[in-house]
Amino acid sequence: MATSIASTETKTAPATQLGTVRPEGLWSKAGRRFLRHKLAMFGLAVMAILLLSAIAAPVLTPHSPIQQDLRNLRKPPSAQHLLGTDGLGRDILTRVLYGGRISLSVGLVSVTIAAVIGIIVGIIAGYYGGKTDMVLMRATDMVMTFPSLVIMITIAAALGPSIFNAMLIIGFLTWPAIARLVRGQFLTLRTQQFALAARSIGVSNWEIAFKHIFPNTISFITVAITFGVATAILMEASLSFLGLGVQAPTPSWGNMLRDAQGMNILEDMPWIWLPPGILIALAVLSINFIGDGLRDALDPRSYL
């Protein structure tokens, strides 16, 4: 009898232990998939280096980003100036590091503005539908049909070039993509059983929209925002290159490229334009890799 009881306990023990194991959640699975995405990990590492370098710029370089040294104009890389100097004798490495602060900040802030506007417009249009959806989507389509660069130049010329205006311009021109994405998700999710059940028991429209439906769109919004940051960095570089974004002497990657205009600089002094150009390309490419990784990791079809 003792042997029988022992064998029974042995047989039932694994089942009991298995019963205590909790199933892995979707966010945990998404995290594991993202960590296995090699290009996304590369992009994340590059962006971490860029952000840390921009934050620690005063520690990494002893030079000032705006102080001129007329005795060292357009000097090639040396022990004193690792990436050389520009046309006013300013250290290129220092200006690249400090310029990263501006360019990355403009990208993040402008995308935040675009996300807030796009999410609100998309939720209202997608949840209520009908005439409300028609009016908001026609306004969205109208903004999307504007030639972005021409509108940016016009608004920047009217408001005046500055960092703050560059953030506002980029934010107010890039929200339609997020709005259309959120609207499409809400049109699909508002007819699902969980939304209908919440409405049938008297839950308010605000709670259904923001507490029940909106959490199911976060993965799509996250991917859209990630790609939006890359677009915003390119837009800021374009505005600054044209002299309508960040103004001198404050460095940004865009106005550093503007200062490198001229065939003699392009041909004979690559140290002036290569560093900001390479960093813009690296930042945009890395963010796109991160966005690809998030899109693959958060794709609900991959868990079917």
Residue 226, domain member (yes or no): yes
Residue 170, domain member (yes or no): yes
Res 15: pLDDT: 45
Query: Does the pLDDT of residue 17 top 50, yes or no?
Result: no
- Tell me the pLDDT tens digit for each residue of 72-101: 889 999 989 999 999 889 999 999 999 999
pLDDT band at residue 268 using 50, 70 and 90 as cut-offs: confident
Cα 36 to Cα 136: distance, rounded to the nearest angstrom: 40
Query: Does the pLDDT of residue 192 top 80, yes or no?
Result: yes
Residue 1, domain member (yes or no): no
pTM, two decimals, is: 0.82
Query: Does the pLDDT of residue 112 top 90, yes or no?
Result: yes
Residue 194, domain member (yes or no): yes
Residue type, position 15, single letter: A
Tell me the average pLDDT across 14-39: 68
pLDDT band at residue 23 using 50, 70 and 90 as cut-offs: low
Residue 224, domain member (yes or no): yes
Res 96: pLDDT: 94
Residue 5, domain member (yes or no): no
Number of domains, the chain: 1
Res 301: pLDDT: 56
CATH at residue 151: 1.10.3720.10
Res 150: pLDDT: 85
CB-based contacts of 76-84 (< 8 A; 24+ apart in sequence): 76/269, 76/271, 77/271, 83/271, 83/275, 84/269, 84/271, 84/272
Domain boundaries, position 182: 27-60+81-303
pLDDT band at residue 25 using 50, 70 and 90 as cut-offs: low
Residue 117, domain member (yes or no): yes
Res 155: pLDDT: 86
Res 13: pLDDT: 46
The overall average pLDDT reported for the chain is 85
Res 69: pLDDT: 86
Residues forming beta bridges with residue 85, ordered by sequence position: 91
Res 215: pLDDT: 86
Q: What percent of the chain has pLDDT over 90?
A: 40
Q: For residue 97, what are its two tokens?
A: 């590091």
Res 1: pLDDT: 44
DSSP H or E stretch at residue 101: helix 92-128
Residue 247, domain member (yes or no): yes
Res 159: pLDDT: 85
